Structure 1
Amino acid sequence: MALIERGPQLAALSQYLEDTRDGSGVLVLVAGEAGSGKSALVSDFLADVAVRVVAGSCDGLSTPRPLGPLIDIAAQLEVDAMLPRDQLFAAILDALARQSTIALVEDLHWADDATADFLLYAGRRLDDLPAMLIATYRDDEIRSNATLTRSIGEFARLGVARRVSVGSLSESGVAALVAGSGLDPAEVFRQTSGNPFFVTECLAAGSSTPGTIRDAVLARAALLPVHGRRVLEVASQLGLRFEADLLIEAGGADAGGVDDCVAQGMLMTFGTELGFRHELSRATIADEIPPIRRATVNRAILRALEQRRGIDVARLAGHAAAAYETERAFRYGLRAAQRAADLGAHREAVHHYRTALRFASPQPASERATLLGALAAECMVTDQMDEALTAAEESLQLWNEIGDPIKVGAAHIALEYIAWYLGRGDLALQHASDAVAVLEPHGPTVELGRALTGAGTFEVDTADPQHGIVTLRRALEIATSTGDPYGQSNTLNSIGWALAYYYGDVDSAVTHLEQSLQDALKYGFGHLSGRAYANLATVLVDNDRFDSADTVIADGLRHAEDHDLTLRWVCITSVLADVELRRGRWDDALADAWGVLQRAGTMAVGHIPALTTIGTITMRRGEPDAHSTLLEALQRAESAEDMQRIVPVTLALAEEAWLHRDLHSARSSIRNALSRNDKPLTVHHRGHLTSWATRLGDPHDVPAGTPSQIALEINGEWQQAAAAWCTLERPYEQALALIEVGTPTALTQAFDILDRLGARPAATLAAERLRSLGERVPRGLRPSTRGNPAGLTSREVEVLQLVADGLTNAEIGARLFVSDKTVEHHVSRILGKLGVPNRREAAKTAQQLDLPTT
């Protein structure tokens, strides 16, 4: 059947394919409602292309197969689909890079997490890929898939995606489609609203008023003989497309009805496969199967699949559960969950663990406890912290009943981390202590080493840093002696953190953190890698080593995104927002902080840095909601009992009081923080608090380990401090130091900096002090000229100018003394802000906007 009213879409697809001839790839998102003809459009386009085509589709069943479409595509590219996830992604891209290719993923709205991750992975590398990636999806269902929604948003930010919208037919289009059928075109249009699939069902039913599409599908199925209808029920449980011989085998005595289904148009042939014309048809048939018949059908399918080699265990798990085969559903569910977790399809892992749990009651308590622990771990990864806590507590209870102290200790360790992420510091500390108490009598085990790492980390941050380091070094000895690379990496991370923040030994801290990162990457410990990236970036940022931090942040974000590490993405993006705040790139900082709040979900501690950044910037801009935002951040930080998060909020609130001339409140905030003896202060935080005490007329000696620029402030050497802040590229701190210098020249310079930042309260303070000296206050910049028209930061403008000059990432990196990956990070942000797909268009836009140089 010829396509109707799809000329513009076909032309767009042809143009996008043509755009790949320069070796740069493109991702095309073909969107429309169910039945709009997305697959028909793509099939028609592919029929005339002269390049290699590979394709796979996502499942519309209850739980998608992890990497289902990629496994299909891998087979067509002769790539081993059983490779580990990272290697599989790389191998598929290598295969696509060898020749011009179109890779199609159908029904993306049903995609598992790992498939969505692959598209992001490929999307970031399209510049060097002579491939056209096409993904079809229902735009009216995409919101139910949070991972995919974020991915599509990321495609837009990166500027790599093209959209092709497939809408309904017009009334004249419907008339053309039903011409010669004897049906009233106007009535068909009224009944179907121009949906092509619905129109074809009306044609098949021979009626313009079939009632509903469901009735039309069932009416067509009713024309089949009994064995045809029964085999159609089997087909509906196999999915949208399936092996023809599997349907025949599972259909048993009714298999002869396959030909009747094809003849009636209920099933279609696709090479060696059969399938439904549309998922709506399959779902309609499936919904009509009585429960007992459904179980019988799935039991027959399960028996047929079990006789085959290489069957995806997720299929076995789904059919076993639907057949109520208790033992098989439990075993296959466990295996499917473990496989999904290994592939990074964490939502699917949670589903399979939940399914296995439904059938777990006959199993021994030890197996149920292990299952609950695994479910808790995957719920934590997918930011379902409340369910993670419940599952982990039930696991602990079972291990206590069994009386296995090693497993009890391990369960306490798991609960420690979950409680911390929930912002329940008291509960986390209790589980850390309980883990050590339970495990200590049983000697130096892997579990004891890991328990000591948790306990030592809490000691460092909340009680006694000196004793905490001793505990951590003992944990490292045990991890080394027991051959536990996970424990070694995790402990090195904590030691590095302690050395930086409580001993001021930054170089040694960086060495420990880099070793932790290398070990985690070497052994494939995704979350430990993410933790190392986040902590290393934080240490570098807090010590104003911004260029090194840029590289770590860019690498860390890519690692977190490529491995679906939401928790670590939140942490690293919080560090990115912080460094942007420090550099005066406040709009970027706000955008990233709001992004953290959107993704942090139930991870309470993830909200605190973002709220602090938002509250600090809005306070410095004089916006009305700043105070309530900072108070919320403080309440969450106090609940988490984390001074690392409490002090930055305290400093922001003191600054706010100072800007409002409430010196009493400002002094009280600082004095209270400095006098706290329930929690240790880092050398940085003690230095910052002491600096503010000096500014507020409450002088102190310089604490040991205080960074030099802060020490200058404490000693009242404000001019030298301002120069130091300028060298470190921290304009707001430079301006505040200049205010304290108090000369007309310094105040004028401070006003100029603050005005450019949009820091109205501090600029007003500088202006007041100028007037008190009898000096003229500068007029300042008009709001319309504070930024460039594209909203780029000064560094992004600099990078864009070099892109416009035709420099490569390596050449730009050499010019700016940063890594290629840092440049890549900047270029991605620039393309997103300009709304252009590639460097060539960015250069054109730069010329049109006449952006300033830096």
Structure 2
Amino acid sequence: MTGLLVGRSTELSRLVRVLQSAAEGTAGVALVGGDAGIGKTRLVTELVARARERGFHVLVGQCAELGDSLPYLPLADALRGAEPAVREAAAAHPMLGQLLPGMDSAPAAGLTQQRLFGSLLGLLGDVQPVLFVIEDLHWADRSTRDLLVFLSRMVQAERVCVVGTYRTDDIHRRHPLRAVLAELKRLPTVTGVELGPLASGDMSDYVATLGEVGAQELGLIVSRADGNPFYAEELFAAVAEGDTLPDGLASLLMTRVEVLSEAGQQVLRAAAVAGRRVEDELLRKVAGLPLAEFEEAVREIVSRGLLRIDGYGYTFRHALLQEAVYTDLLPGERTRLHTAFARLLTSPAELAYHHLAGHDLAGALSASVEAGRLAERLGAPAEAHSHYNQALALWERVEGAAELAGESREALAFRGAVAAADSGDKHRAIVELRALPPASEVSERLAYYLYEADDQPGAIAAAQAAVESAPDQPALARALATQARTLIWSSRHHEIEALTERALKTARSCGARDAEVGALLTLATYVEYRGEIARAHELVHTASAEGTGDLAMDLRARFHHARIHFEQGLLAQAAEVADDGIRMAFETGLKWSTYGTDLRFLRFLIHYVAGEWDQAEAVAAGFGSRVGTPPEAVLSSFALFIEVARGLPQVEERLSRLRPFWHDELAAYMSRGLAAEHALWHGDPATALDHVRAVLEPMEDGYATVLRIAATGLWALAELGTTEGADELRARARRSAEAGPTGEPVHLGPEGLAWALRVEAEWHRVHGRLDVELWRQVVEAFDFGFVYEVARARWRLAEALLAAGDREAAQAEWESARETAEKLRAAPLEGALQEFGRRARFSGAVQRAGQGAGQRDGRPGDGGLTAREVEVLRLVAEGLTNREIAERLFIAQKTVSVHVSNILGKLEVATRTQAAAAGRERGLLA
């Protein structure tokens, strides 16, 4: 593999430590194992590049699948490909000279192992430091295995690093390398490095390096490749060509199957029909072998790494291996094996799979419906939707389908659409509902999901249809509650009180608790918007008091209960309710539903606002790194709050994964708004302003979200030193603070009021006015518990106080902000405060300019540089260009340029050479 090294930083660091130890005079050996295609060669290639940068001579030799016919093949290969200086040194050792071009590769006489090994030891001593790589040790001849043992035991004080790679999936129980590896890994000088599958997020990043691919295709490749980069490459190529499993990859996988005994192949074929995993007893019955022969066959399969023992059964080492074996089956063979499994199974999902593959369509339909209902009960809506869709696909081909399913086709399709929405796929739910004949229940759900998909006109029309066609009171209550919800931000919002009152009366008369809660929550939102906070709290509390039987509605109630506390600055109460809602979402399988995701967003924000950033990072880690759908993109965007504020290196990588989702308004608001802050912290206000304008363009006035973005845009204008566009940004913010989307006066919570004040203060700063009282108001407004924003406002207040001549008060605000930034590990803010304090010559800041903020950890002074800037400085000192630094750190070249400019400014030097000298003097290059 070539290109960027993705997801292997830990393994590379371990290898680099062995290399560095060798450079310092302590030899070491690293043995790198992993499946075929997992990335061993790519990892070692990166190590070779690092070694050459450090002045190492490099020898790379390859073993071949030739048995013992060519002894010392990798050593001969390494010498032949070595640089001239190494070949000249080898020629001075007669035993090694015989391995060089023009000589016999392995003469029968005179090339004794003892003399050869001694010559090699002498050569390594002559050309040290040296990195000797032996690839594909699983094919090593006996002499090469002896050579590896010799080097591992005898090379001690030389500056030598030996690295060997081998395929773990080829090391079966009788493989001759197995004992050698076990012996060597006990030695203190030997480091074992196992390459496992790449995580899904890293895999997504890797596939993105191969070329453009759609989100759906990306998800398919990531799931099927199962963490193997080579398989991902093959699948990427197949997707581009419209294929399924590429012939080349299938052939490669099947070569490992064909070496099995006939019994082993028979058992593996049966296992492939079962799927990725199969229980031992079930496999034995279907395979049809005597017990002793079956167990010997399974032992052979496991020892060759094709199946892994998994509890009371077996799992294919890789999903594509199972697929390749399954595809290789003859049609009749496949059908007979599926039928055999169907006779022995009771699980509806497994029965549906085997009935369908065995061409029993009636059995498949019945089992699919039952599997869907079971998945619903178990809180697995995505699986339920899949099973229902399979049943619907068979419907027209099965006589008496309604009797087998126990309900009509329309009822089953409706059930499937609701399951799709519960799994987070509102778009699919909307498409499937629109395909159904119009009915009140269908129209009500369609209106509900259209509202959540921001199609207000469509939602209002569908809700009206639901009300007009409601056949009974429960249906009417639900339709009225949903209709009120669709009108809340429309010009018809004045109808909401009457509609919710009618919905509540109807719901209570017929016991429709879900409709009652829906109406209460809509009314609570409406009165909260009008400023009736106490009444809103009371309504939400009533809605949340007991369950409704509708899990999605219960989650909605918990979200709004938590949200209303959060927006009033009651963080502890909000956290308690949000935690309860998140537990419910995970326990019921609704974590990707609208309110399952919204509750996790909210919990992250509560931690973030309260200054509990380590806990916020832990919540963000639970979001997952894969970005394949808009809900996943929004979740991923939330992680940027901490990553940007702490100046973490993964910001650029996350933004690159999110860029394809900037058409989604919420994902764009989140990620581009924080991308703007990221650009500002890195000295690029022009890019920040581009992000702000892109976010604001599709946004309507009247939403509090406009305020934060407008404040960020004004910050950028202040940094650019221009007033162009400042008045429009303030005007948009004022309109949004004064009136909502319906045009009526809006009630802002504590955070909204704080951002409105921040906009005013930033507008004055753009015009060159540092208003002390206004910035003091901003500090006080954010002091409801928003720890980070209080610190950022104190920074600006300190600037204003200093400009007004109140030096003592300015230093007090600066100290308070710096202490908070240090506690939060908010590196960009800490760096900005350090720079301000140094320029202001505050007591403590001048000393820290020489010692660095890192002095508290016993580190040398960093001159106010962020961790990323120190990393860039080290690469500058190595002589790398901006392009080379960008490639090394996987960031944009423009970003590197910004980092370098910041470094020159903070270190007060004019050139890269001077920056390197200053960094060396301060101990930053260690």
Please give the alpha-carbon distance, in whole angstroms, between the structure 1 residues aligned to 2:834 and 2:322.
67
* Structure 2: distance between partners of 1:329 and 1:615: 50
1:633-668 Cα distance to aligned partner (Å, 9 max, x none): 435655xx9825444433443454456555563332
Residue in 1 that maps onto 2:557: 532
Check 1:217–1:428 CA distance in 2 against 1; reply closer, same or farther (3 A cut).
same
User: 1:662 & 1:588 partners in 2: Cα distance?
Assistant: 39
Cα deviation, 1:271-308, whole Å, max 9, x if unaligned, reads 9x996796689777644322233224323432454xxx
Match 2:792 to one of 732, 735, 740: 732
Tell whether 2:435 aligns with 1:397: yes
- Going from structure 1 to structure 2, the CA distance change for 1:360 and 1:637 (only over 3 Å counts) comes to farther
Structure 1 residues 337 and 607: alpha-carbon distance in aligned structure 2, compared to 1, 3 A threshold: same
Choose the corresponding residue for 1:618, options 651, 655, 678: 678
TM superposition shift of 1:171:
6.4
Alpha-carbon distance in structure 1 between the residues aligned to 2:835 and 2:139 = 68
> C-alpha displacement at 1:719, in angstroms?
5.2
Deviation of residue 683 (structure 1)?
A: 0.9
Preserved contact between residue 441 and residue 466 of structure 2 (Cα < 8 Å) = no
Q: Distance in 2 between matches of 1:259 and 1:673?
A: 78
Of residues 508, 511, 535 in structure 2, which corresponds to 1:508? 535
Query: Percent of pairs identical after alignment?
Result: 16
Q: Please, which runs of 5 or more residues in structure 1 have no aligned partner?
A: 1-30, 37-167, 179-189, 204-210, 306-310, 699-712, 792-854
2:592 paired residue number: 566
Q: 1:547 aligns with which of 568, 572, 577?
A: 572
Residue 662 of structure 2 corresponds to residue 627 of structure 1: no
Report what 1:406 is aligned to: 440
Instruction: Give CA-to-partner distance per residue, 1:208-240, whole Å, 9 cap, x none.
Output: xxx97845645655369xxx95x9865653465
SS at match of 2:488: helix
Task: Give the Cα–Cα distance (whole angstroms) in 2 for the partners of residues 277 and 456 of structure 1.
Answer: 52
Distance 1:651 1:752, change over 3 A: same
2:377 to 328, 342, 366: 342
Summarize the Cα distance change of 1:656–1:645 in structure 2 as closer, same or farther, 3 Å threshold: same
Other structure's SS at 2:396 match: coil
Q: Secondary structure at the match of 2:434?
A: helix
Question: Is the CA contact (8 Å cut-off) linking 2:754 and 2:778 kept in structure 1?
Answer: no
Shift of 1:444: 5.9
In 1, Cα distance between equivalents of 2:772 and 2:505? 43
Distance in 2 between residues matched to 1:781 and 1:559, nearest whole Å? 49
- Aligned residue for 2:379, secondary structure, equals coil
2:337 partner letter: V
Give the direction of change, closer, same or farther, for the CA distance of 1:559–1:746 in structure 2 (3 Å limit). farther
Alpha-carbon deviation of 1:412? 1.9
Residues 736, 589 of structure 1: CA spacing in aligned structure 2 closer, same or farther, 3 A cutoff? farther
Counterpart of 1:679?
742
Distance of aligned partners of 1:467 and 1:373 in 2 relative to their CA distance in 1, 3 Å threshold: same
Alignment check: 8 A CA contact 2:440 2:479 kept = no
The separation in 2 between residues aligned to 1:377 and 1:620, in whole angstroms, is 44
1:381–1:566 Cα contact (<8 Å) kept: yes
Q: Residue 435 of structure 1 corresponds to which residue in structure 2?
A: 463
* Corresponding residue for residue 352 of structure 1: 387
Name which of 285, 290, 299 aligns with 2:330: 290
Counterparts in 2 of 1:719 and 1:437: CA distance versus 1, 3 Å: same
Q: How does 1:70-81 map to 2 (within 5 A)?
A: none
Aligned equivalents of 1:265, 1:484: Cα separation in 2: 57
- After superposition, the C-alpha distances for 1:368-405 in whole angstroms (9 at most, x for unaligned) are 4444444444444444x3xx5245324322323xxxx2
Give the match for residue 237 of structure 1: 273
Q: Does 1:484 align with 2:512?
A: yes
Contact 1:584 1:732 in 2 (8 A): no
Task: Work out whether 1:471 is the aligned partner of 2:499.
Answer: yes
Tell me if structure 2 keeps the 8 A contact 1:235–1:247.
no
Distance in 2 between residues matched to 1:695 and 1:579, nearest whole Å: 25
- Deviation, 1:416, is 1.5
Q: What's the C-alpha RMSD, in Å, of the aligned pairs?
A: 5.5
* Mapped pair 1:321 → 2:347: no
Distance 1:766 1:237, change over 3 A: closer
Which residue number corresponds to residue 650 of structure 1? 710
The yes-or-no answer on 1:785 pairing with 2:853 is yes
Aligned with 2:436: secondary structure?
Answer: helix
Supply the AA of the counterpart residue of 2:467: L
1:795 match: none
Question: Residue 361 in 1 paired to residue 396 in 2?
Answer: yes
> For residues 72-221 of structure 1, what are the structure 2 equivalents within 5 Å?
193-195=167-169, 198=172, 214=254, 217-218=257-258, 220-221=260-261
SS in 2 for 1:460: coil
Q: Distance in 1 between matches of 2:260 and 2:396?
A: 43
Structure 2 residues not aligned, in runs of 5+: 1-32, 39-134, 146-163, 178-250, 303-307, 632-663, 765-769, 822-827, 860-926
SS at match of 1:461: coil
Partners of 1:787 and 1:344 in 2: how far apart?
52
- Distance in 1, matches of 2:259 and 2:844, equals 82
Query: What is the aligned counterpart of 1:496 among 524, 532, 546?
Result: 524
Q: TM-score scaled by structure 1?
A: 0.53
- Structure 1 residues 442 and 244: CA distance shift in structure 2, 3 A: closer
Counterpart of 1:653 in 2: which secondary structure? helix
3-state secondary structure, aligned to 1:683: coil
Classify 1:666/1:33 alpha carbon distance in 2 versus 1 (closer, same or farther; 3 Å): same
Q: Alpha-carbon deviation of 1:241?
A: 4.2
Distance in 1 between residues matched to 2:326 and 2:703, nearest whole Å: 56
- Deviation, 1:684, is 0.6
CA distance in 2, matches of 1:525, 1:174: 66
Judged with a 3 Å threshold, the aligned counterparts in structure 2 of structure 1 residues 195 and 690 are, in CA distance, closer, same or farther, namely closer
Q: TM-score, normalised by structure 2?
A: 0.49
CA-to-aligned-CA distance 1:300-347 (integer Å, 9 cap, x gap): 432454xxxxx2211211111211222222221122123223323344
User: Which protein shows a greater Rg?
Assistant: 2
- Cα deviations across residues 512-534 of structure 1 (Å, max 9, x unaligned)? 33343343xx3564444443343
Between the aligned partners of 2:464 and 2:855, the Cα distance in structure 1 is 55
CA gap 1:223/1:552 in 2 versus in 1, 3 angstroms: closer
Deviation at 1:497, TM superposition (A): 2.7
Q: Which of the pair has the greater relative contact order for Cα pairs under 8 Å at 6+ separation? A: 1
The answer to whether the Cα contact below 8 Å between 1:233 and 1:286 also exists between their aligned partners in 2 is: yes
Aligned to 1:452: 480
SS at match of 1:537: helix
Residues 137-172 of structure 1: per-residue CA shift (max 9 Å, x gap):
xxxxxxxxxxxxxxxxxxxxxxxxxxxxxxx99769
The amino acid that maps onto 1:291 is: P
Q: Determine the structure 2 residue equivalent to 1:812.
A: none
- Rounded to whole Å, the distance in 1 between the matches of 2:290 and 2:340 is 16
CA displacement at 1:628 relative to structure 2: 4.1
Q: Aligned letter for 2:447?
A: I
